[in-house]
Structure 1
Amino acid sequence: MAPTIYLHWTATPYSWVRTGHYHSIITGDGVVHRLHAYSADLPAHTWRGNSNSVALSLACMGGRPDPWTIPPTPQQLTALCREAASVARSWDWSAEQITIQTVMTHAEAASNRDGRWLHENYGPMVWGGTGERWDLLQLEKGGPLDGGDQLRARIRSLLAGKSEASAEEATPTREALVFRREATMQADGQPLAVWIDANGTSWGLAADLLARYEIPSLWDASHRRILIGALDVAPAYRDDAIQDSIGWPLFEMSLQSATAPVILRGILRPQAAGQPARAWCRVLEFAEEFGISVRFDPFALLARRGG
């Protein structure tokens, strides 16, 4: 059976980010916080729909007593559609495959609107349900009751290579981050080749950094991720995690566990012109995630003390 993408809101403030509930949470500013690998099953996002599925959620609708005092922002809706399209693209789906059977809001799933009767109707009361879940029934207060249809249309448009209908919601197209020069720094007492980007940030090959600190890892090409076997790493879920806007294809590091929590995201780029793409990550972020001591002026990585 084909996997399903479920679209949610968290009924919280815009800044709410917690692991274990959804694969990704999109905060009010439109930043996507990848919390778990999309290949992992999470236990409790959509009743009887938690297996073979991906859950994307907007941090919003937490106003009290009126949830609409914290509505979905245009940036969140744009990021939600882009992330859903990215997931669909990774599964080789075409625009025509974005249907209510494959991409559903929680309101639609709760009401069995895809035609599969998996449980009693706990969806919106306007669809005969108990009203427990009505995520994305509407995209704005007083709006039409077709939030799912609107979102699927936008996702199909993205997969078809078309620009989004609402120009005011679209974020500017950015050029890929530029890498200015090669350099060498010290890591655990040995030279490490790095690249310096246009912002002065150091990037290293993930494979070199992992090998230098003897961190067990395995490249999962089908999901563009590195699986980490270390038991002493606690992901920090940074607010400045790399986004698609960096302009390079992304990869992620995730722990080898049932829920595959994401440690960090990096980019895929060639080491030199004409060479195959390799996985690069920000050196300082790598150090902070893996408990490696750092010295500045000059910038160097010291010993690993654990995550």
Structure 2
Amino acid sequence: MTLVQLRHFIELARLGSFARASERLCMTQPALSRSIKALEDELGQLLFDRMGKRIELTPFGTEVLTRSQTLVEEAEQLKHCGRSLSAEDSGRIRIGLSSGPGAMLSTAILSHFSQHYPRFHLDIVRANTLHLAQMLRDRQLDALIVDIRLLRPAPDLKVTQIVEMDGVFMCRPEHPLALRDRISFEQLANYPVCSTPLSEETARILVERYGEEAHPEVLVKLTSDEISHLIRVTEDTDAVLLAIRASAPHLHELPVWPALKTKARFGLVTVAKKSDPLFLPVLQHIMQTTMK
């Protein structure tokens, strides 16, 4: 078997269609069929169940897919072993960003690659941490930058470049609470609080600081995985946003007493037990310079 055959197999498994896969691979459907058939003959089992125009991976095909992805990824890394990403490199990078990192890093990452690595195809996917982690495991993404407190520790994932950022309550500058020097939790709770999904650790800190009424299931009235929507609501209404300070620097930070003193912990996540992608130092640099 060859790496070319494995790439054909991976693309067909990803798209689930000979027509779409052959178009993406710039080859004819008969040529793709012959490549897959030759791979199945060598492996001695079917990789796909054919049901008319539909295809599905067999259990054996699912196992082969995981190993094939690892082999192809390692082969790509081997070509670039010992050197850094250069402006002449090309390829496709798929990066998953959860809400906070998405708000801070999307523009920075896109701009950096546009300026320094213009031949790359860069895909940014915004979603919640758990969904992004599954996409990484399925090899639909190459790396994630997420709130690692929402990510369960697992041996198949590697977390690096951890950045801690302050979480605070914020409002629009014209908000009724904005002119107060000190705000009690009771005063804060008179207004709808919005946030992205919060970790169990943050929930514990809220309850320790302010009591059971501060548990997110009670306190938070508006929840979304997309923080930009929550920022807009906070700008336009009397809602109070609970989020990392850097996600909305133009909003007013509320001097709630006692102080919340919680931090979000963001990390760069890749698949464990494989060579680091060539682009990883680039992402680490962007995180270091942007997430301050």
Normalised by the shorter chain, which TM-score bucket?
A: under 0.3
Higher RCO structure, 1 or 2 (CA under 8 Å, sep 6+): 2
The structure with the largest helix share of the pair is 2
Higher CA-based Rg: 2
TM-score by length of 2: 0.26
